[in-house]
Structure 1
Amino acid sequence: MARFKYTGRDRKGKKQGVINAASRREAMQKLKVDGIRVLEMTEVAESFMTKDISIGSPVKLEHLVIYLRQFSTLLKAGVSVVESTNILAEQTESKALKKALTDIEQELREGKPLSEAATKHQKIFTPMFINMIHAGEASGNMDETLERLAVHFEKQHNTRAKIKSALAYPIVVGILAIAVVIFLLVSVVPTFVDMFADFGGELPAITQFVLNASDFMQKFWWLIVLLIMLFIGFIVFIKQNKNTKYYLDYFILRIPIFGKMLQKAVLARMTRTLSSLFTSSVPILQAMSIVENVVENEVIAKVIRQSRDSLERGQSITVPMKKHWAFPPLITQMIAIGEETGSLDAMLGKVADFYEKEVENSTDRIKALIEPIMIVVLAGLVGTIVTSIMVPMFEIFNQVG
Structure 2
Amino acid sequence: MPLYLYEGRNSRGELCEGKVKADSTKEATQRLRKRGIKVMQLQESKSLFYREIQVGRAVKPTQFVLFLRQLATLIRAGVTIVEAIRILIDQTESRTLQHALEKIEEELRQGHPLSKAMAQHPRIFTPLIINMVKAGEASGTLDDTLDRMATYYEKQHRLRQKVISALTYPVAVGIFAIAVIIFLLATVVPMFADMFLQFGSELPAITQFVLDSSAWIQMYWWIIAIVIATLYTVLCLLKRNKTSKYYLDYAKLKLPIVGKIIQKSQISRMSSTLSSLFVSSVPILQAFAIVEEVLDNEVMVQLIHKSRHSLGSGESITVPLKSHWVFPPMVTQMIAIGEQTGTLDQMLDKVAQFYETEVEQATERLQSLIEPTMIIFLAVIVGTIVLSIMVPMFELFNQIN
The Cα of 1:25 is off from its aligned counterpart by 9.6
Structure 1 residue 246 and structure 2 residue 254: aligned? no
Structure 1 residues 358-389: Cα deviation after superposition (integer angstroms, max 9, x where no partner)? 00010111011111100111101101111111
The equivalent residue for 2:155 is: 155
Moved more, 237-246 or 321-330: 237-246
Distance 2:389 2:143 in 1: 69
The equivalent residue for 1:44 is: none
Structure 1 residues 279-334: Cα deviation after superposition (integer angstroms, max 9, x where no partner)? 11111101101101111110000000000010011000100000001000111000
Structure 1 residues 96-136: Cα deviation after superposition (integer angstroms, max 9, x where no partner)? 21221122112111111110111111111110000000010
The equivalent residue for 1:233 is: 233
Counterpart mapping for 1:271-350 below 5 A: 271-350=271-350
Distance 1:394-1:234 versus aligned 2 partners, 3 A rule:
same
| Deviation beyond 6 Å, 4+ runs, structure 1 | 6-11, 23-28, 50-53
SS in 1 for 2:119: helix
Structure 1 residue 89 and structure 2 residue 94: aligned? no
Distance 2:351 2:113 in 1: 33
Q: How many residues align?
A: 382
Distance 1:185-1:8 versus aligned 2 partners, 3 A rule:
closer
Letter in 2 for 1:232: Y
The equivalent residue for 1:114 is: 114
Please, which runs of 5 or more residues in structure 1 have no aligned partner? 12-16, 38-49
% of aligned pairs identical? Answer: 55
Contact 2:253/2:262 (CA < 8 Å) preserved in 1? Answer: yes
The Cα of 1:395 is off from its aligned counterpart by 1.4
Distance 1:10-1:79 versus aligned 2 partners, 3 A rule:
closer
SS in 2 for 1:90: helix
Distance 1:128-1:30 versus aligned 2 partners, 3 A rule:
same
Moved more, 214-223 or 355-364: 214-223
Distance 1:91 1:292 in 2: 33
Letter in 2 for 1:171: V
The Cα of 1:51 is off from its aligned counterpart by 10
The Cα of 1:92 is off from its aligned counterpart by 1.6
Letter in 2 for 1:67: F
Contact 2:170/2:370 (CA < 8 Å) preserved in 1? Answer: yes
Letter in 1 for 2:377: V
The Cα of 1:79 is off from its aligned counterpart by 0.6
Letter in 2 for 1:164: I
Contact 1:97/1:124 (CA < 8 Å) preserved in 2? Answer: yes
Distance 2:5 2:392 in 1: 81
The Cα of 1:35 is off from its aligned counterpart by 5.7
Counterpart mapping for 1:1-400 below 5 A: 3=1, 19-20=21-22, 29-30=30-31, 33=34, 55=56, 57-400=57-400
The Cα of 1:8 is off from its aligned counterpart by 12
SS in 1 for 2:120: helix
Distance 1:99-1:181 versus aligned 2 partners, 3 A rule:
same
The equivalent residue for 1:40 is: none
Distance 1:7-1:170 versus aligned 2 partners, 3 A rule:
closer
Structure 1 residues 121-179: Cα deviation after superposition (integer angstroms, max 9, x where no partner)? 11111100000000101111100100110111111011012112212321222122112
Contact 1:128/1:290 (CA < 8 Å) preserved in 2? Answer: yes
Distance 2:195 2:142 in 1: 78
Distance 2:146 2:247 in 1: 36
Contact 2:268/2:352 (CA < 8 Å) preserved in 1? Answer: yes
Structure 1 residues 74-99: Cα deviation after superposition (integer angstroms, max 9, x where no partner)? 11100111111111121122222122
Moved more, 96-105 or 305-314: 96-105
Distance 1:261 1:348 in 2: 19
Distance 1:156 1:120 in 2: 24
Letter in 2 for 1:353: Q
Contact 1:159/1:356 (CA < 8 Å) preserved in 2? Answer: yes
Distance 1:267 1:385 in 2: 45
Distance 1:394-1:233 versus aligned 2 partners, 3 A rule:
same
Contact 2:253/2:263 (CA < 8 Å) preserved in 1? Answer: yes
Contact 1:186/1:218 (CA < 8 Å) preserved in 2? Answer: yes
Distance 1:307 1:145 in 2: 26
SS in 1 for 2:389: helix
Distance 1:60 1:351 in 2: 27
The Cα of 1:346 is off from its aligned counterpart by 0.6
Contact 1:8/1:36 (CA < 8 Å) preserved in 2? Answer: no
Distance 2:4 2:361 in 1: 59
Distance 1:122-1:393 versus aligned 2 partners, 3 A rule:
same
The Cα of 1:28 is off from its aligned counterpart by 7.2
Structure 1 residues 21-41: Cα deviation after superposition (integer angstroms, max 9, x where no partner)? 7x999777326656679xxxx
The Cα of 1:53 is off from its aligned counterpart by 6.3
The Cα of 1:180 is off from its aligned counterpart by 1.2
Distance 1:275 1:9 in 2: 45
Distance 2:237 2:259 in 1: 22
Please, which runs of 5 or more residues in structure 2 have no aligned partner? 9-18, 41-50
For the aligned residue pairs, the C-alpha RMSD in angstroms reads 2.6
SS in 2 for 1:199: coil
